[in-house]
Structure 1
Amino acid sequence: MSAGIVIVGLEGLVADLASSTPRLAGNAATAVAVTSRKVQQSARARVRGHRHIPQYPASITYDVTAGPAGAEGEIGPDKNRAQGPLGNIIEYGTPKNPPIEHLGPALEENAEDLVHGIEVALHQALP
């Protein structure tokens, strides 16, 4: 014998959630884009001013991909730009060169901004 639970009165909430999906997806993509831009700017600022890699900061870009499963931001050096292929060497260093950590710290610095942006996206999506 199995027990069942009947919940009454959630039809309105279920309808609200179903209708808010497109708004939530758009708002989440915006939140990811804003945070990605902030991470990019922070990473560029952290690595700017080094005489041997003057063009590297400009190689740091970001892309945002949004779809039904959510939004995703990719931030880092574009290997097709000047000095972009040096990203791993700069971030992690070599036996002869110390690391210049910039991407990791920039991401950590802006993590709370992403959480806040997603919270705002949720509140704005629900009617």
Structure 2
Amino acid sequence: MRFIIRVVVNAFSLWVVTLIPVLQVSVIAFPPGETLQLVLTLLAVGAIFALVNTIIGTIVKVLAFPLYILTFGLIGFVINGFLLWLTAWFTSGLDWGLRVEHFWWGVVAALVISIINGIFGFILRPQSKRSRRRD
């Protein structure tokens, strides 16, 4: 269930990023490219992005741990941009998918995606059990 929520939030985040024309990030929908195909494409790209983040992202972040310390965590922006660019590369051979025109625009887009995912993570996070007050 958590993976499905993650895919939907990623798809929404990718859609928001494609609405910002400065970032030069676009999604090419399944043919014929109508609204339903765009939504399905966003969900497919969101699933690929979630898998890339889960599998490859974990490995890269573990290997880059010393860089996280040296850069006070700022390397995380570059790594997230790399993972977004990698997702675009995976779908580049298809007639549909994510297109990132330049790596550094991918880094900025990944920052926007991280902010949106953080907001949704805060909203959708289950509330912890509240401790009882002592009277």
TM-score of the aligned structures, taking structure 1 as reference length: 0.37
Question: Which one has the bigger helix percentage?
Answer: 2
Identify, as 1 or 2, the structure richer in strand. Answer: 1
